[in-house]
Structure 1
Amino acid sequence: MATLLVALVGVMGTLLAPLTTAWVSSRVRLQEFDLQQRASAAARQEESAAADLERRRAAYIALNGSARQWRILLMEDVNALRAGGNAAEHTEQARQTFQADFAQAQMLVPDYVLDAANRVRIALADARKRLDRQAASSNSEGESTWQDLHGYVLDIWDVITDMQAAMRKDLGVGSGLPVPSERSEAYRASS
Structure 2
Amino acid sequence: MDGAIASVIVAATGVVGTLLSPVLAQRSMARVARTTAEAEQLGRREEREENVRISAFQEKRQVYAELNSLARVARNAMKDSVRYYHKKGEVTEGDMSLVTSARLAYQECYDNAQMILPDHILPLASRLNGSLAKGFHLIKSLATQGTPTPEEIRDHCEGPILQMVTEMRTAMRKDLGVSS
TM-score by length of 2: 0.88
* Other-structure match for 1:178: none
In 1: Cα distance, 2:173 partner to 2:146 partner: 43
* Other-structure match for 2:12: 8
3-state secondary structure, aligned to 1:111: coil
Sequence identity (%) = 30
Q: Deviations over 1:143-174 (max 9, x none)?
A: xx432221111111111011101111121111
1:69 to 48, 68, 73: 73
Q: 1:138 to 1:119 in 2, by over 3 A?
A: closer
3-state secondary structure, aligned to 1:112: coil
State the structure with bigger RCO (CA 8 A, min sep 6), 1 or 2: 2
Instruction: Specify every segment of 5 or more residues in structure 1 that has no aligned partner in the other structure, as ranges.
Output: 176-191
Instruction: Work out the number of aligned pairs and report it.
Output: 171
Give the structure with the higher percent helix: 2
Q: Cα RMSD (Å) of the superposition?
A: 1.6
| 103-112 vs 80-89, which moves further | 80-89
* Other-structure match for 2:22: 18
| 64-73 vs 109-118, which moves further | 109-118
2:36 to 29, 32, 36: 32
3-state secondary structure, aligned to 2:178: coil
TM-score by length of 1: 0.83
Q: How far has the Cα of 1:117 moved from its partner? A: 1.2
Judge conservation of contact 2:67–2:110 (CA < 8 Å) in 1.
yes
Q: Which amino acid aligns with 1:39?
A: G
Q: Which amino acid aligns with 1:20?
A: L
Q: Computing the radius of gyration over CA atoms, which structure comes out larger, 1 or 2?
A: 2
